[in-house]
Structure 1
Amino acid sequence: MTVRVLFVCLGNICRSPMAEAVFAHLVERAGLDGEIEIDSAGTSSYHIGQRAHRGTRDVLRRNGIDYEGDARQVTPRDFERFDYILAMDSDNLADLRRLMPKDSQAVVKRFLDYADGVKIHDVPDPYYTNRFDDVYALVRQGAEGLLAAIRQDKGL
C-alpha cells in the first residue's frame, strides 16, 4: 500500500514545494521512495504553472536537493487521493478544512505538528521576508518528524 502525502501552502512556490522536496529526499534516503508518494499544492491560484521561488530552489540546491515541480492548486480530488494533507500554516489549514468533503479520510493537520521541539505552529512565509534558510530548518524538522510518524503508523 502506497502512502500519499500532500504539502499545502498559499501559492505553492515557497513552503510547500520546499517541504515536498525535503520530504522526498528523506524518503529516498530511507529507501522508501516506492512506498510513499509526495506532492504539493497551493490553496490559491496565484502561481499555477510557475516554478518554485528562486529562494526555495537556492536553499534546496545548497542542501543537495533538486526540485523541478510546478505550482498547482488544491483540488477536491486531493482529499480522496492523499492520506496526509499538511498545511504550512493555520490559514492554509482553515482553507483546507473549508474545501474538505465531509467523507474524507485524509489526515489534515499543520505540518509543524510533526516537528518535535518546535514551539511555533506555522511555517512563516519566506516570500515576503526572504528567510528561506530559517524556513528550511523548520521544514527539515517537520519532515523528519512526519517520516517517523508515518513509519510508525504504517509499519514502514
Structure 2
Amino acid sequence: MIKVLFVCLGNICRSPMAQAIFEHQINGTHLTNHFEVFSAGTTDYHIGAPPDPRTLSTLKSHGILFEHQAHQVNYSDINNYNYLIAMDHQNFVHLQNMKPISAMLMKMRYFDPVDKNSDVPDPYFGQNDGFETVYRILNRSIEGLILKLKEKHLS
C-alpha cells in the first residue's frame, strides 16, 4: 500500500482538495487498491471542521463529492505515510522540522508540468476564482504525481 499525505496550513482548502482530486483520479481504476490517501494541516486552526464551502463547491462543479474533517499533522502521520506532499514552502519547512521523517517529503508543484518551482497558492482569503485556480493546479500536478508513483511502485 502506497500512503500519501497532502499537507497545507489549516486542512480546509488545498490539502483536502488535493486528497479529493487524487481519489477521484484513481477511482474505478486498478490503482484504487494500491493507495491510501489523506490530508492534514500544519496548524490546529480548524481541527474537526469540514472543508471550506468554496472548496466543496469547486470540487462539486467538477463532479467530485467529498467529506472530510480537518486534522492536524502529527508525528504518527509523518511516520505512517510514504509520501508527504506540502502545498507550499512554509508547509514544507514545518514538515521538515518534524524530525525524524521516514517519509519522502516533496512540494506539490514539483509534479506540475507548467511550473515546478512555485507554491500552490492559498485561496482562503480570496474569491471563488482562486479556488478554481487551485483546482487546476492540483489537477494537473496530481496527474504528474500519480504517474511518478506508478512508475516507481507499480511498473
Q: Given the two structures, how large is their TM-score scaled by the length of structure 2?
A: 0.95
Structure 1 residue runs without a partner (length 5+): none
Q: Structure 1 residue 37: deviation in Å?
A: 0.3
Q: Structure 1 residue 119: deviation in Å?
A: 5.1
Residue in structure 1 matched with residue 124 of structure 2 by the alignment: 127
1:51-90 per-residue CA deviation (whole Å, 9 max, x = no partner) reads 0001100010000111101000001011211000000000
Q: Structure 1 residue 116: deviation in Å?
A: 1.4
* RMSD between superposed Cα atoms in Å: 1.1
Residue in structure 2 matched with residue 99 of structure 1 by the alignment: 98
Counterpart amino acid of residue 129 in structure 1: G
Task: Tell me the SS of whatever aligns to 1:128.
Answer: coil
Task: Tell me the SS of whatever aligns to 1:80.
Answer: helix
Name whichever of 115-124 and 12-21 sits farther off.
115-124
Query: What CA distance in whole angstroms lies between the structure 2 residues aligned with 1:120 and 1:134?
Result: 16
Q: Structure 1 residue 29: deviation in Å?
A: 4.1
Q: Structure 1 residue 133: deviation in Å?
A: 0.4
Q: How many residues align?
A: 153
Residues 3-82 of structure 1 correspond to what in structure 2 (within 5 A)?
Answer: 3-82=2-81
Give % identity.
38
Query: What CA distance in whole angstroms lies between the structure 1 residues aligned with 2:109 and 2:31?
Result: 22
1:118 matches 2:115: yes
Counterpart amino acid of residue 84 in structure 1: Y
Q: Given the two structures, how large is their TM-score scaled by the length of structure 1?
A: 0.94
Task: Tell me the SS of whatever aligns to 2:67.
Answer: coil
Alignment CA distance shift 1:58-1:99 (3 Å):
same
Query: What CA distance in whole angstroms lies between the structure 1 residues aligned with 2:122 and 2:137?
Result: 12
Query: What CA distance in whole angstroms lies between the structure 2 residues aligned with 1:88 and 1:64?
Result: 23
1:35-55 per-residue CA deviation (whole Å, 9 max, x = no partner) reads 100000000000000000011
Alignment CA distance shift 1:142-1:100 (3 Å):
farther
Counterpart amino acid of residue 151 in structure 1: K
Counterpart amino acid of residue 111 in structure 1: M
Q: Structure 1 residue 99: deviation in Å?
A: 1.1
